[in-house]
Chains A and B, each alone.
Chain A
């Protein structure tokens, strides 16, 4: 028989602290909705990056086959001429696409579909494991655009991620004055920034958004790039990524953009460019969630 080692009991003060901590409120409804929305987008972006990697393998295989079949100086010279002409056409098309996509993005501002966030019921922390609803929901990451999930149980409250109105009892964020007790927050004025105003990753990365369109336009630009990837229009995708980089060099979606850039370059046959982009990505974002995909595409 295994004898279990003894472990001392908790002191009354420790038990009181644990009891008090168990009554602490969790994230607000706005925070839940925004975290879920960002999680969906990250998963969609990861799926998109992985799908571009698949395209890249196809392109590489096709390129090597056709190169073998058309091995001849005359044919190669002809091919080079055609490629130069094609590059010009692609450059023109990409420029047009970027302009068109930007216009489309601007038009779509304020018209985004609301995202249905799963509503977490308020639960006491108990030993119970998760209650599984009868019909499982489907969370299918899509390649582009705002996504919505199908709720498995009662219809969740639809929350528009781009126009979140703070509830009457919204949590005001107040920076504690230097030297003050951290918990002694000052009551925020009516026009103070709330949690709902803060971009999800702003606190951790401390980046400026940049660009005149703000975070929404930044998001939509990248969504357009993802849509171009989905449509196998890699030239437009690359052009949109460049455009995004020019507009938002230190934007909040830089990590996502640079991961996508690696895959797009590889898919277009620019292996050296992909490897270089991957190297820069690893240096810049060592703990990125896109790291496994980037490593798989350009080790």
Chain B
């Protein structure tokens, strides 16, 4: 067997050297807050946190985020990771306060700042309808549905964020979609019966 000995050029060595990319700096808490406070707020709202408690629980989420931030890998998408924290904080909040007091949903109503009060009421009703239908699901099914169909996250990211197997995500998503659709259809029929749009 003949072995050809081709002299190695410096350019070849340079091309063989692994390219070391500078590490991505982790985002600061202020960056995350600025970009994602809406995301956290809506996540909590859809997870069933009452409107009056949203500022407090949003605060709790970002305190938790500040603690978890050193473990965040900047190469990974932020939002699913953030929702995982949001879900756990919301879960704790519901567990702690469920037996302390009953919070009627939206007992304190905040208008949304729209110039037209009628538009404001319509928007509030539409928002409440979605949350009302989500209320037919337990929290674990609700979380999967929110992540997949409201926020548009991939199944793999959902599985990682909620620390569950991918097959469980599919199973929960199937159940959640069926229950949510049933509730939405029921609500739509009731609305048609009352002459609402």
Binding site for B on A (CB under 8 A): 4-11, 13-14, 16-18, 20-28, 31-32, 34-36, 38-39, 42-43, 46, 118-123, 125-127, 129-133, 136-139, 149, 151-152, 156, 167, 169-176, 181-185, 187-188, 195, 200-201, 203-204, 286-287, 289
Contact = CB atoms under 8 A, between A and B. Distances in A.
13 contacts: A4-B170, A7-B173, A8-B177, A14-B185, A20-B127, A23-B123, A32-B37, A39-B63, A125-B39, A132-B25, A171-B113, A174-B108, A289-B64
Given A39-B63, A137-B31, A9 B127 contact: no
B62 interface: yes
Contact of A169 (B42, B113, B170): B113
A137 B28 contact: yes
B56 interface: yes
B181 A5 contact: no
- Please list the 8 inter-chain residue pairs (A to B) with the smallest Cβ-Cβ separation, ordered nearest first: A26-B38, A118-B34, A11-B181, A7-B174, A21-B130, A20-B126, A182-B106, A14-B184
Interface string B44-69: 01100000111110111011101000
Given A8-B177, A38-B59, A203-B53, A120 B34 contact: yes
A183 B184 contact: no
Contact of A39 (B54, B59, B184): B59
**B interface, size bucket:** 35 or more
B16 interface: no
Contacts of A201: 56
Contact of A36 (B33, B150, B177, B188): B33
B63 A22 contact: no
A143 to B, nearest CB: 16
A182 B104 contact: yes
Interface of B: 24-25, 27-39, 41-42, 45-46, 52-56, 58-60, 62-64, 66, 77-79, 92, 96-97, 104-115, 117, 121, 123-131, 133, 149-153, 155, 167, 170-171, 173-174, 177-178, 180-182, 184-185, 187-188
Nearest to A170: B113
A18 B41 contact: no
Contacts of A9: 177
B152 A125 contact: yes
A173 B150 contact: no
A31 B104 CA distance: 22
Given A42-B63, A118-B33, A5 B171 contact: yes
B58 A171 contact: no
Contacts of B177: 7-10, 14
Contact of B121 (A35, A43, A183): A183
B167 A5 contact: yes
Contact of B111 (A17, A119, A185): A185
Nearest to B29: A139
B27 A176 contact: no
Contact of B35 (A18, A130, A200): A130
B28 A152 contact: yes
A38 B59 CA distance: 7
A155 B45 CA distance: 29
